[in-house]
Structure 1
Amino acid sequence: MLNKRQFISTGIAMGGLGLAGANAQTAKPEYTLPEEFLPREVRIRDKLPAGEIHVDPNRFVLYLTLPKRRAIRYTVGVGRGNLYHDGTFYVGAKREWPSWKPTPAMMKREPAAYKNFLPGRRYEKGMPGGPNNPLGARAIYLYDKRGDSYLRIHGTNAPRTIGTAVSNGCARLVNPHVIDLYDRVSEGARVVLYKKANAGPSHS
């Protein structure tokens, strides 16, 4: 069980990071992410090692820690209902434009939604990477001591899902933001997914 950490944002330090295409590269170009959803560099209270990922599902934010008590804050979508799983993980793999196949649990839960992944169907071996793939432009694969946890931090071309609990347990960012995160985080980096309901980092 994770203890609540005093991982506190003390205010916006640098404003938006000015990522190229931050509001573009979406499924519906007419939709613009709210400005408060854009990545920002913030100050944190704890002196955490640089290069870690911390996800607070209560506020739909992901922090990538930087040196000198700073972090980049991204807005994410998280797992819905009881599909969100807290815990401590590490980055076991990274993929650009990853292929994807639903887990057996997902197929059992929603068989009609994933019928094209059944034996003999179009995506029996998985959906190739590309703009329509649910994992988006990049995927960061979370592992624990048993190996692949089947949890991912990944992209999406559905920007309206950011800031909501909608996924099958993973954390999602719009494609430009996940590309930025992907380029900054290293394999082996520690990833902390905080519990729902007041167990994640608190904000001032």
Structure 2
Amino acid sequence: MTAPLLTRRAFVLGAAALNLLSAGCVATRDAPPQAPAPQLPPPPQPAAIEPQGFDGQRTPELDARYAALVDGGHEIPAVPYWKIDPKFYRQQVTDPTAEAPGTVVVDTANRFLYLVEPGGTAMRYGVGIGRVGFTWEGRGIVHWRQHWPRWKPPAEMIERQPNLERYSVANGGMEPGIGNPLGARALYIHQNGEDTLYRLHGSPEWWTMGTAASAGCVRLVNQDVIDLYERVPHHAPIVVRQTPLSA
């Protein structure tokens, strides 16, 4: 069944839910002790969560790139990209990583994610980095990719916030949808056969691109995470850097 068209109120509430629930990223086991979950405050008003930001130029190409779409039966709102710094738009650039084609590189300092291409180029995406995004670096693999994933808070988070019990592993997690903290896609990073608890995932919170957000790992706007999902090879290597690359 196709989900009904989102009203502005539904979108705002969904965005607020994502902001409030995405602490701990998407761990399905206890999160590291240094990443406590925030308490749930009252939902913010629309004016507080939709800053104006940049006032850039609109183009037909970018309108199409960040247009509203229906994906997997879910309505994804258009991104007002002209309010985002243009350097964070999805774009092909000269590869600054020196990594092999097919490698994902997260440059947390500059808020960029690169997918290295053959021939000296890379597809670059603007990202938002949350608290968990700064707790891991190194090399791993994209072990698992999920289309419209469920969110399952760890037991340690549920102990602090019992109201999240309805989203536990035992209860099947939060239903996929625009208000789910993981958005349209999630990529799960493993190292030496172990889950790092580091995730790349979608978000409707376009205004957090290029920022250090309050929660989560590495977030992309949903249109970009869908594009990345389609490009990333099976078991792609990933490098997460906390020191900046020179683009």
Alignment TM-score, normalising by the size of structure 2? 0.63
Q: Which piece of structure 1 moves more, 143-152 or 129-138?
A: 143-152
**Corresponding position: 1:117 with 2:164:** yes
**Corresponding position: 1:102 with 2:150:** no
- Unmatched segments (≥5 aa) in structure 2: 1-59, 69-75
Match 1:146 to one of 176, 188, 193: 193
Q: Which amino acid aligns with 2:246?
A: S
Match 2:113 to one of 62, 65, 71: 62
Q: Which amino acid aligns with 1:76?
A: V
Structure with greater helix share of residues:
2
Match 2:238 to one of 173, 184, 191: 191
Q: C-alpha separation between the residues in 1 aligned to 2:66 and 2:237?
A: 26
| Secondary structure in 2 matching 1:91 | strand
| Shift of residue 29, structure 1, vs aligned partner | 6.2
Q: 1:71 aligns to what?
A: 122
After the TM superposition, which segments of 4 or more aligned residues of structure 1 sit over 6 Å from their partners? 27-31
Within 5 Å, give how 1:1-204 maps onto structure 2.
18=62, 20-22=64-66, 24=68, 25-26=76-77, 32-45=83-96, 47-80=98-131, 83-107=134-158, 111-112=160-161, 115-118=162-165, 121=166, 124-166=171-213, 168-195=215-242, 199-203=243-247
| Secondary structure in 2 matching 1:187 | coil
Residues 32/56 of structure 1: CA separation in 2 closer, same or farther (3 Å cut):
same
Q: Which amino acid aligns with 1:116?
A: N
| Shift of residue 179, structure 1, vs aligned partner | 0.3
Residues 59/95 of structure 1: CA separation in 2 closer, same or farther (3 Å cut):
same
Residues 45/91 of structure 1: CA separation in 2 closer, same or farther (3 Å cut):
closer
Alignment TM-score, normalising by the size of structure 1? 0.75
Q: C-alpha separation between the residues in 2 aligned to 1:30 and 1:84?
A: 29
Q: Which amino acid aligns with 2:130?
A: G
2:153 and 2:167 in contact (8 A); partners too: no
Structure with greater strand share of residues:
1
| Secondary structure in 1 matching 2:213 | strand
Q: Deviations over 1:34-66 (max 9, x none)?
A: 332211111125553111110111110000000
Q: Which amino acid aligns with 1:156?
A: S
What is the aligned-residue identity percentage? 37
Q: Which amino acid aligns with 2:175?
A: P
